Amino acid sequence: MKTYIVGNWKMNFTVGESSIYLHKLLKKITPKKGLVVAIAPSTIALQPLSLQIDRKKIRLAAQNCCGKDYGAYTGETAVSQLRGLIDFCIIGHSERRFVFNESDKMIREKVAACVRNGITPILCIGETESERAFGETADVLKDQISTGLADVSREDLDKVIIAYEPVWAISSVKGAKVAVPDDISSSIDIIRKHLKDTYGKSTDETPVLYGGSVNPSNCGAYLTIPGVNGLLIGGSSLIADQFNDIIEIAKRVTA
């Protein structure tokens, strides 16, 4: 199983700043077999960075896409338009769900569109603080998996990555807390059991990432949790030294 380190830049960096930062990263990062590093810059930066990137070191991911392949959808970007530029696409991030009110239907369509177009979707799931407090974590995760993967066949399950990002642990959320490994481990068990129960086969080949206030000081502990195959990183991916430190720790932990 490969290990994935994915940096979500969110709405940061201009195209020029993105290019300069990528140049710094490319000089720092050394590739390792079995470790996949990806960055998700703003959509406007994907095309120019695709000409600059060394795919032996870093892959590109989109932060969002449209669930339609073409048509009258002003302001949207189809996955079919991103083919050749990206390998991954982040779908259903909590900021898309709660800030932009993306529905389960929209997320399901986006996941299916990625699979249909040969792009690996990174489906983000996670409970809020109130859902956690009321003991609803398992129900929320199962529901988000079931709805997000509703149009994914049993044969295509291995073409999907799931990222567990508890909303209460995302650093950009007011009052965010740092998740301890025990919290994450129980949720990873729920995710993998539900996948197995739903698809009726081993889900060992379905990567599950963790995201939520990941930094160089805690990433090693997260990567040693059974069933965790990588990390989805926000703030620390915007600082070249920190992001590279996480990559180097991942190399050692997964060696």
Q: How many Å apart are CA 193 and CA 183, to the nearest integer?
A: 16
Coil vs helix vs strand at 159: helix
Residue holding tokens 């449209």?
66
Given the residues 17, 165, 194, 248, select the one marked as catalytic.
Answer: 165
| Of the candidates 100, 94, 182, the residue with the CA atom closest to the CA atom of residue 141 | 94
- List 7's β-bridge partners, or say none: 39, 233
Phi, then psi, of 34 in degrees rounded to 5? 90, -5
Given the residues 93, 95, 102, 109, select the one marked as catalytic.
Answer: 93
Active site residue 205: no
Active site residue 127: no
- Please count the other Cβ atoms lying within 10 Å of the Cβ belonging to residue 63: 20
| Cα–Cα distance list, 110 to 79, 104, 123, 151 (Å) | 8, 10, 9, 10
Q: Which residues are catalytic, by number?
A: 93, 165
